[in-house]
Amino acid sequence: MGYDRISALPDCLRTQILLWLPTRDSIKTSVLSTRWRNLWLDVPGLDLHSNDLDSFSKAATNNFGNSFLKFNRQTRLQKFKINYDNYKSFGNSSQIREWLVTAVDHLGVQHLDFKDQNATCYSCFLPVNIYQSKTLVSLKLQRVVVPKNPEFVFSLPCLKIMHLKKFVTTLKIFYLTFHPVRSGNDDSVEIDAPRLIKYMSFSDRIVVKNLNSLLKIDIDTDFNIKIGGFKSFIIIPFPKFYNLAHIQAAFSSSSLSLLSVFLESCSNLKSLILDFSVSTEPEQKMDLTKVPQCLISTLERVEINKLNMWEGPGMKLATYFIMNSAVLKKIKVVPMTVSGEEVPPQHQVFINYRGDELRKSFLGFVVKAMREAKINVFTDEVEVKGRDLQNLFRRIEESRVAVVILSERYTESSWCLDELVKMKEQMDQDKLVVIPIFYRLGATNCKRLVGTFGDNFRNLEREYRSEPERIKKWKEALISIPQKVGLTLAGHRPGSVWVQWFKEVILKGSVHNFWTTKPKQSFFWFVNKLLKLKDTIFPLVKLRIQNGESALFWFDNWTPFGSLSDHLSNSPSRLGIPPHATVSSLFRNGSWHLPPARTETQVQLQAYLMTITLTEDQDYYEWEINGQVSERFKTGELYAYLCAERADVQWSKAVWFSGGIPRHNFHTWLSVLDRIPTRDRLISWGINVDANCLLCNSMPESRNHLFFSCSFSFQLWSKVASKLEIQPQRGWEDTLNQMTALHLQKSHRLLVLTAWQATAYWLWNERNARLHSNTFRSVDSIFKLLDRQLINKVQSFRELNPRRSSQMMQRWIRFA
């Protein structure tokens, strides 16, 4: 039997888990054990549905509710949810009101959810003390009636979420709502809720005041259609929502004129989600000549769901947003079929790639984006050598589109190349569209097989030299596919997919959020590394204010004082300025709107602001390093700034040079610094290992011994040096000085340095193979590996500098 982790939790946590269940299910847990028997009574919430207690009498139901609330009198009630039907045996309306009074007045309920199941008659008048609760955080009411009293004040100071549906003030108003009769009386209800951040209302008779902190609104305009006696519906005066950034609304073709009213009132709107429907009512045309301010300056994302692609109003609406939204980044249209069902996912896309680094970064971003767009994607997650490829070939045949991500490591895999051949066959028969993506790789490198891409292919070619027909098909596919129009992704340019992924996923759509985003365990390590560097680079990144619409007042480096959240040493809320307020939001009608200065730092800030006048141009960033201003990022300047000035070392040009093999350069650099883990270093760290050299087994192993005092290593180095026409030195220091002081022709010098580093690299590779794999190779075997690698490297220079490549090749093979 498995271990019961929930039972091992303390009672306080288990009651919080039971709080998420209906009370009926919480009671059922009492049969589990004696420890669970009475635990449901300690749950700080009641969740009852009329169907749960059908078999009980009204008296039994009343006793149960009274006993539960009495038992919880000493604790604060978190949740109180009632789904009530007066026609069933679920208590009565007076008893329900008593329960609500107890929950609100005596138990301080925080989340209240009440629904009257009887859809034909609004028979439940709720106690008015609900609307003056000092503890309610969320309030959800459906099909309830509030008696109209002009002197009563609705006040909910702690309310953050309110959901009101089919909410009326009297039975008379209910009649008016569903019948074409107009009333001259003011039948609206005003609610004072200054902390409300999310508002969902399905009635036009609720007026919410003091919406200072409203961030999100969910609106259903169907109520407009139900009022048959009105030809048009206008809210006067319509409130201005300055902080409202997200709207999700249901609009039909008969209420489009109301949409333009909402957009006009939301000057800082960023996200709009519309559930669109075509109504049988007469269409109210939206004025498409007016462009609200939010479309010009802030609206970045629009989503239109259930759009009928064959109806004029819906397509006009989508076109309107595309043509008039100046800063729109994404528009998503989810169409409907004739039957009302959503369009099924598109044809499958097959993605062909090689390497874990792609799977964990770029590929993950591409796959997520495609799946969010409801595109079927197939990627082979695990590559197993020897597996039958017929299943993958069938997947390619089933696909309509194939994406080939060509990287330097692509030609390491025969599997990838076989898939590429199959794609070419399908493409030649017009059954497949192939889109190549060159990931940090030039298209020419693919077609001409040069660079690391070509080196890997030639290694594979030698491995499969007994299958010439297969190799021929690989080459034909590598020539044919890159000729298609594709996408080149080189590095982390401003428009690269990696940059877009970092901005959209990590920074939530805005680069300005970099200063407020904190590292998380769910992020990749390199993302957390960048986020941890923000304090270091903050002084170097200057935001130059123009229109101030993108600059965060508190967190961007836009003043001489740096971050204002640090400079003013105050919580943002104490100055009455929201945490994510922009600079432009504080500059209205040609003047700054800030609270009076109370400290010296505030005086300094306001004095500086008097020197700034906003324009219509866009804000932009500049790098400022040691007083030097640049709009471009320069790695060398930043490295010099972070590492301070250091004296050049004489051996640098022998280690780092253009045309070298990167892994060899890096290994040589570690060797020069004596940072490779040789056995003498391991012993100095207190690790008990044999001190003898793994290559000659006669002397203690050290950096100086391996390169090239060891008899085995010196034998290999002598063999290489003879082809380079140089005199081999036995000691490490002597060899390093020799490489540093080379006075040779450029091509000869490049060949010597490349061969020297390759010799050191393959000697270290052999040492590790003997230590970890217990495999031994002779000097001649290692030389063959080195020789093949060096020839491939020299051939890779042929495209850019054929003369140098020819000179190096002739010198190397002269004494073959």
Encode pLDDT of 225-259 as tens digits: 332 233 333 444 455 666 677 777 766 666 666 67
- Helix or strand holding residue 588 (H, E): strand 587-588
Taking a C-beta distance cutoff of 8 angstroms, is the pair 104, 129 a contact? yes
3-state secondary structure 223-256: HHHHCCCCCCCCCCCCCCCCCCCEEEEEEEHHHH
The alpha carbon torsion through 439, 441, 445, 446 (nearest 10 deg) reads 0
Mean of all residue pLDDT scores within the chain: 75
59 vs 623: CA distance, rounded Å: 76
Q: For residue 712, what are the CA distances in angstroms to 273, 696, 700, 789?
A: 72, 6, 14, 20
Q: Collect all residues with Cβ–Cβ distance below 8 Å to 248 and sequence separation of at least 6.
A: 216, 217, 218, 219, 273, 275
Count of all residues that appear for the chain in the document: 816
Q: Which residues pair with 177 in a beta bridge?
A: none
Q: pLDDT at residue 770 above 90?
A: yes
Beta carbons within 10 angstroms of residue 429's beta carbon: 8
Q: What is the pLDDT of residue 150?
A: 53
Sheet of 346-352: strand order equals 375-379, 346-352, 401-406, 433-439, 487-489
Which top CATH class is 349-489? alpha beta
Place of tokens 């203690």: 700
Beta carbons within 10 angstroms of residue 130's beta carbon: 23
Taking residues 179-183, what's their average pLDDT? Answer: 32
Place of tokens 């939206």: 286
The alpha carbon torsion through 64, 67, 70, 71 (nearest 10 deg) reads -110
Q: What is the pLDDT of residue 798?
A: 86
382 vs 365: CA distance, rounded Å: 18
Q: Which two tokens stand for residue 531?
A: 């986020």
Collapsing DSSP to helix, strand or coil, 432 comes out as coil
pLDDT band at 354 (very low <50, low <70, confident <90, very high): confident
Q: What is the pLDDT of residue 315?
A: 63
Q: What is the pLDDT of residue 230?
A: 33
Specify the amino acid at residue 453: F
The gap from C-alpha 813 to its chain's centroid, in whole angstroms, comes to 53
Q: pLDDT at residue 116 above 50?
A: yes
Angle at 273 between CA 272 and CA 277, to 5 degrees: 130
Sign of CA dihedral 282, 287, 292, 295: positive
Beta carbons within 10 angstroms of residue 492's beta carbon: 12
The alpha carbon torsion through 758, 759, 765, 768 (nearest 10 deg) reads -150
Model pTM score? 0.36
Q: What is the pLDDT of residue 735?
A: 94
Taking a C-beta distance cutoff of 8 angstroms, is the pair 715, 779 a contact? yes
Q: For residue 530, what are the CA distances in angstroms to 156, 524, 541?
A: 43, 10, 14
The number of C-alpha atoms within 13 Å of 346 and in the hemisphere containing its C-beta is 13
Place of tokens 């190096």: 808
Taking a C-beta distance cutoff of 8 angstroms, is the pair 185, 203 a contact? no
Q: For residue 580, what are the CA distances in angstroms to 188, 197, 530?
A: 34, 15, 22
Beta carbons within 10 angstroms of residue 447's beta carbon: 15
- Provide the residue ranges of all domains of the chain, joining segments of one domain with +: 44-214, 216-222+229-344, 349-489, 524-643, 652-813
Q: Which residue numbers are catalytic?
A: 419
Q: Collect all residues with Cβ–Cβ distance below 8 Å to 74 and sequence separation of at least 6.
A: none
Specify the amino acid at residue 623: W
- Helix or strand holding residue 765 (H, E): helix 746-772
- Helix or strand holding residue 303 (H, E): strand 301-308
Taking residues 798-805, what's their average pLDDT? Answer: 87
Angle at 440 between CA 439 and CA 443, to 5 degrees: 75
pLDDT digits (tens, 9 = 90+) for 57-95: 666 666 777 777 776 655 667 788 877 765 454 556 677
Nearest to 812 by CA among 748, 762, 767: 748
346-352 and 401-406 beta bridge pairing = parallel
Q: Which residues pair with 125 in a beta bridge?
A: 145
Taking residues 167-172, what's their average pLDDT? Answer: 41
pLDDT digits (tens, 9 = 90+) for 359-410: 666 677 677 767 766 677 787 654 444 455 777 888 888 887 888 888 888 8
Q: Which residues pair with 48 in a beta bridge?
A: 82
Q: What is the pLDDT of residue 86?
A: 56
Place of tokens 């390169």: 707
Q: For residue 70, what are the CA distances in angstroms to 21, 229, 395?
A: 21, 49, 64
Q: For residue 436, what are the CA distances in angstroms to 322, 474, 483, 495, 713?
A: 29, 15, 9, 18, 45
pLDDT band at 800 (very low <50, low <70, confident <90, very high): confident
Nearest to 795 by CA among 373, 450, 298: 450
pLDDT digits (tens, 9 = 90+) for 709-756: 999 999 999 999 999 999 999 989 999 999 999 989 999 999 999 999
Nearest to 707 by CA among 655, 760, 661, 783: 760
